[in-house]
């Protein structure tokens, strides 16, 4: 994995973090622990896969308790499709953390990512947990970001600071993900924290709304992992109450900024990706229509391979729009590549040439805009091209 030497971020008071190499992956950080202060509030959203992994099921259950004090995250093994054994192994890991911390196992949330269907070597995790506690520190964000990756080529971390009145609040988050990527909540994991004071009900609302606009608008290959999870923590250490306007709006914007940067970073690091693509569908009769068309374009293998080849075969875009479950009037549709019109009112734009299309398709960042001209609704999805390397990475994933 290629990493930069430094990543600027804000430490969040009330959060301590650590990461170690437990042996689940060879000579790499693969196990992380995030400690929340006693008064923290924790919110999470998870995959909608019907084959949700054991740690997802346990975290959902534990979140219904009085408090969440520790997040235990491993990479190298998804602990998914592992039956009762997988469930019991995840519980054993929670119990090991709880025993050292002097808490109930229900106050520990487990998360896993990696290969599906292989038994979790929980003993390696148990043996490494004491060293995690020894390494807990407020500046552990980068090591946690490194510990949770799988096929990622770079770590993903984002941070911001917001001035509200005479106080400042901080937000920091990390994420992993580059393939098996079309979250539906939300292989992605993301952990974010702020020192703003936010109640549980409000935090749940913020996470749900912001996730819908960020992590739920990315796709690399159209596949949803069994382990997707996104966690948002409020420690309250700033003392600034952000449960009502105007503070609420400002903290929402800050959290959105961090989550948007992480979501885009996941797409840019898409497996084998050579291009970052924004699909923007405007003028829909409903949000659903605009969203369905955006995903139809973003997930089309024919569109994605044309993007990789820089082939301005805009007939593939027409195909992807037409196959979507949405109301359209073909005589009103406009399509653009960046600022170049390919089609106006359902027909080729009179000044369009293949040469102009090729110039736009060669760019590393592309915006595809489809205007349905039927209504007020717009949706945006971020995606990638589909390259030879995507096939290579996934065909060699377990070798």
pLDDT single digits (tens) 41-52:
999 999 888 889
**Angle 301-309/287-299 helices, nearest 10 degrees?**
60
Residue 78, judged by CB atoms within 10 A of its CB (0-12, 13-18, 19+), counts as buried
According to the model, what pLDDT value does residue 39 have?
93
Please count the other Cβ atoms lying within 10 Å of the Cβ belonging to residue 389.
13
pTM > 0.75: yes
Per cent of the chain over pLDDT 70 is: 93
pLDDT band at 5 (very low <50, low <70, confident <90, very high): very low
Mean pLDDT, the chain, as a whole number?
92
Q: Of 83-87, 232-236, 334-338, 391-395, which gets the smallest average pLDDT?
A: 391-395
pLDDT of 48 reads 82
| Tokens linked to 168 | 């400042």
Q: What is the pLDDT of residue 362?
A: 96
292-306 average pLDDT score: 94
Of the candidates 256, 253, 250, 203, the one whose C-alpha atom is nearest the C-alpha of residue 231 is: 203
Tell me whether domains 15-268 and 276-395 share a fold: no
Say which range, 46-60, 129-143, 147-161, 218-232, has the weakest mean pLDDT: 218-232
pLDDT score of 396 more than 80: no
**Measured in Å, how far apart are the chain's first and last C-alpha atoms?**
16
Model pLDDT, residue 187: 54
Indicate if the pLDDT at residue 323 is higher than 70: yes
**Strand order from edge to edge, sheet including 167-176:** 41-46, 229-234, 189-194, 167-176, 156-164
pLDDT in tens, 34-90: 999 999 999 999 988 888 999 999 999 999 988 999 999 999 999 999 999 999 999
CATH number of 276-395: 3.10.20.340
pLDDT at residue 171 tops 50: yes
Neighbours of 334 (CB within 10 A): 18
The catalytic site residues sit at: 187
Does the pLDDT at position 249 exceed 90?
yes
Helix (H, G, I), strand (E, B) or coil at 170: strand
- Tell me, what's the pLDDT at 222? 64
Nearest-angstrom CA–CA distance, 136 and 131: 9
Burial 252-286 (b: 16+ CB within 10 A, else e): bebbbbbbbbbbbbbbbbbbbbbbbbbbbbbbbbe
pLDDT at residue 113 tops 80: yes
**pLDDT value for 3:** 37
Q: Average pLDDT of 180-184?
A: 52
**Fold of domain 15-268:** 3.60.70
Domain boundaries, the chain: 15-268, 276-395
């Amino acid at each position: 994995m290629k990493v930069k030497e430094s990543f600027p971020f804000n430490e969040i008071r009330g959060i301590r973090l650590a990461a170690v190499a437990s042996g689940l992956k060879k000579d790499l950080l693969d196990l992380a622990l995030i400690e929340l202060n006693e008064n923290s509030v924790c919110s999470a959203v998870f995959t909608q896969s019907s084959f949700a992994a054991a740690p997802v099921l346990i975290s959902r259950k534990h979140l219904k308790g009085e408090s969440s004090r520790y997040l235990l995250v491993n990479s190298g093994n998804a602990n998914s499709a592992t039956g009762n054994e997988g469930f019991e192994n995840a519980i054993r890991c929670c119990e090991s953390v709880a025993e050292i911390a002097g808490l109930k196992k229900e106050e520990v949330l487990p998360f896993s990512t990696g290969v599906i269907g292989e038994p979790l070597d929980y003993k390696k995790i148990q043996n490494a947990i004491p060293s995690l506690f020894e390494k807990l520190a407020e500046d552990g964000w980068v090591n946690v970001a490194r510990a949770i990756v799988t096929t990622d080529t770079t770590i993903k971390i984002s941070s911001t600071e917001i001035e509200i009145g005479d106080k400042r609040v901080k937000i920091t988050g990390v994420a992993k993900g580059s393939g098996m990527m079309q979250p539906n909540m939300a292989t992605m994991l993301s952990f974010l924290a702020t020192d703003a004071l936010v109640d549980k009900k409000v935090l749940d609302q913020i996470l749900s709304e912001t996730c819908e606009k960020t992590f739920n608008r990315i796709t690399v290959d159209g596949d949803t992992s069994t382990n997707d999870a996104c966690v948002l923590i409020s420690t309250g250490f700033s003392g600034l109450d952000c449960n009502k306007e105007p503070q609420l709006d400002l903290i929402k914007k800050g959290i959105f900024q961090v989550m948007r940067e992480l979501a885009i970073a996941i797409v840019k690091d898409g497996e084998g990706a050579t291009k970052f693509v924004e699909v923007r569908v405007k003028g829909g009769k409903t949000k659903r229509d605009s969203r369905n068309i955006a995903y139809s374009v973003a997930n089309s293998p024919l569109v994605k391979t044309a993007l990789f080849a820089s082939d301005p075969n805009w007939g593939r875009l027409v195909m992807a729009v037409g196959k979507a479950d949405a109301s359209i009037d073909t005589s009103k549709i406009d399509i653009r590549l960046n600022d170049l019109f390919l089609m106006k009112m359902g027909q080729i734009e009179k000044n369009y040439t293949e040469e102009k299309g090729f110039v736009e398709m060669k760019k590393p960042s592309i915006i595809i805009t489809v205007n349905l001209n039927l209504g007020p609704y717009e949706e945006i999805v971020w995606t990638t091209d589909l390259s030879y390397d995507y096939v290579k990475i996934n065909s060699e994933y377990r070798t």
